Amino acid sequence: MFLSYLGCMKLLDADFDEEIPVLMKHKEVIEERLTRYYAEFRYWAKYEWSARYHNFYCRHYGFEEKVLDIVIPEEKLQRKMKPLLS
């Protein structure tokens, strides 16, 4: 269970077109943080969750069908395994 903070736009009766810039900025920030914290798993994991929530919200409310690049690509949510000691 979680608080759907993006869902606040629905509570405020935001129009579909009003939500798109907010969602695009949300995506931009998350993608930047996924890159910035790639080497620091405890921080990266927070943004991975945020990205999955972002994608869920966009798919659930039909944004992915209208705005092709609104979801965060799955490959950005993957981390390569590497040995702790080499």
The tens place of each residue's pLDDT in the chain, 86 residues long, gives 778 889 888 888 888 889 999 999 999 999 999 999 999 999 999 999 999 999 999 999 999 998 989 999 999 999 877 776 76
Q: What is the dihedral of CA 20, 67, 8, 49, to 10 degrees?
A: -120
What pTM, to 2 d.p., does this model score?
A: 0.87
Residue 42, domain extent: 14-77
> Does residue 72 lie in a domain region?
yes
> Does residue 6 lie in a domain region?
no
Calpha distance 38→34 (Å, rounded): 6
> Does residue 3 lie in a domain region?
no
Residue for token pair 């579909």: 16
Q: What is the pLDDT of residue 70?
A: 96
Runs of H (alpha helix) within the chain: 8-11, 16-36, 41-60, 63-66
- The count of domains in the chain is 1
Calpha distance 26→46 (Å, rounded): 14
> Does residue 84 lie in a domain region?
no
> Does residue 85 lie in a domain region?
no
